[in-house]
Structure 1
């Protein structure tokens, strides 16, 4: 084999990323093209979503609408990928397939990123749960996703009291 496989990015219809990846893998299997198309990935990340004080881990697409393919670029491999249902083309100037650089590949696969999302924002009223201040209502002043805490202004005994709590001990109050 003279040419080394490189990573390419293909654009898909939004929501079709997994289907496109499965279809490419199925064609590779059926036509025995393992040397040409070596790997297909939908970039995802693990994230924590905190809703109503409950934390759950979800996997979400890092780049919706894109699939990564490690392949040797030639007419056959280009044709297979380009004519996969749901695929709208390769990413590159004038839809010319452009391989990712080593740095880009390292950035995509080298580090696993974990993010946190919350169902409230600065200015929202929240109820405190699971602490000595259980049931008190506070106003969100600041959300610190890095250390997973939230700064609140809590009205206690007629006075505004600033406090910092873990995100998991705060539940958004429905308006």
Structure 2
């Protein structure tokens, strides 16, 4: 087994990622394994959903549901501690041998977290007909031609004076 700290992917029961992270830190402290279990990383990004009244609600979502990353020195004892933490189902690897994540893969993952730092959760689809419920075009209908999850906006084509006119509105300004 290796004697250098490396990052490993741990499979956990989906939805328990933060609990497993807390448990690993508690077990690390209580069993004096700070030199072997270095860090635990749960990749998340912010998702903003818009409620019916237009209120924006920010939630954190796991980028990799059912997986966490652990920076650790693999020894029989550290492997046993991680493997037997509640809600851990195993290491990602070949059989019982954990395979470390390369530095390049870790950087790509962290890049994805930065990239997806905040997105809007939407129920809209391109091609849907939407009613404008707020603003100067209130009461008009249009066809959704584009969705920007990062900005929380949609592009609509509405009919103004007999012509299709593209406009951009925020999610709370329309209703499908």
TM category (shorter chain) comes to: 0.7 to 0.9
> Could you tell me which of 124, 137, 142 is aligned with 1:138?
142
The answer to whether residue 68 in structure 2 is matched with residue 92 in structure 1 is: no
Query: Structure 2: any 5+ residue segments left out of the alignment?
Result: none
TM-score (norm: length of structure 2): 0.83
Q: Is the 1:54–1:168 Cα contact (8 Å) retained in structure 2?
A: no
Query: Structure 1: any 5+ residue segments left out of the alignment?
Result: none
> What RMSD, in angstroms, separates the aligned Cα atoms of the two structures?
2.4
The answer to whether residue 20 in structure 2 is matched with residue 20 in structure 1 is: yes
Could you tell me how far 1:3 is from its partner in structure 2?
Answer: 3.1
Distance 1:146 1:57 in 2: 13
Residue number in structure 2 paired with 1:170: 173
> Could you tell me which of 148, 153, 158 is aligned with 1:154?
158
SS where residue 131 of structure 2 aligns?
Answer: strand
Residue number in structure 2 paired with 1:3: 3
Structure 1 pair 60–147 and aligned structure 2 pair: CA distance change class (3 A) = closer
Q: Structure 1 runs of 4+ off > 6 angstroms?
A: none
Post-superposition Cα deviations, 1:102-146, rounded to whole Å, max 9, x if no partner, equal 111212235512333322112322222443212322221232446
Structure 1 pair 56–34 and aligned structure 2 pair: CA distance change class (3 A) = same
Distance 1:81 1:93 in 2: 17
Count of aligned pairs? 171
Distance 1:148 1:160 in 2: 26
